[in-house]
Structure 1
Amino acid sequence: MSSIPSNLRYTDSHEWVLDNGDGTATLGVTDHAQEALGDVVFVELPDAGRELETGEEFGVIESVKAASDLYSPISGEILEVNESLEDTPEAINESPYQDGWIVKVKLTDSDQLGSLLDADAYTRIVEAEQD
């Protein structure tokens, strides 16, 4: 079973969101997602300063198996991108919740976090996909 930290929020498309508690959030892909992708070889990162809307595509992760679009689970302005992924995209495989984060966003509406899945709900989705 994939690691599913209880302090994060999730989407059914396998992105995670960490509420940083200061009006910002950090986004990445879940352990389950990186396992399904296989070895990540490239990450197309968005530009800092870009405004995101919920559900909008903001990047691509390429692995030896496939390419997958990244979708923003929240609206806001990209404050920072994890530029280290340009040289070490495998950080997503090795540490999806720490070193493998993708962007940090200034939230437009922090109430959106409440509409995301908690760890228990996300666990049920992952289990259903594995059946």
Structure 2
Amino acid sequence: MTKKKPRLMRLKKALLTKQDVLEQRFASYQRHLLEVQDETGKIESAMARPVVMMFDVWRSGTSRIDALRQKESAMRHELRTVVQEMACVRSQLRRTDATLDEIASVEGRKALLDSLSEYVATQLD
């Protein structure tokens, strides 16, 4: 059991690092998604003005909005992927913590049994 403990501690440290990286990626993607949505809103409001009735301006605005919507869709997909990875890391962390707790419990019981056996040995002498 104690041979597993250093390996599990390294695994836990790696998982915590990965969790931090995923949280940073999530925040970055979320900011980028908001920027894309803001830019889309600005173009849509500009196209709604009566001055923008010229077909070329309307067509370029429409194609830009389509591109931004595709980008938004890709960002949402990335966000879902990151959320799934974060859930996986959290699950692995829970399992690692449970195993470490179990090891600590076994080590505690072993230490208690050792001290009890020493006490019994001294009482018998």
Q: Give the number of the structure with larger relative contact order, counting CA–CA contacts within 8 Å between residues 6 or more apart.
A: 2
Pick the TM interval, shorter chain: under 0.3
- Structure showing greater Rg: 2
TM-score (norm 2): 0.21
Which has the larger share of strand? 1
Which has the larger share of helix? 2
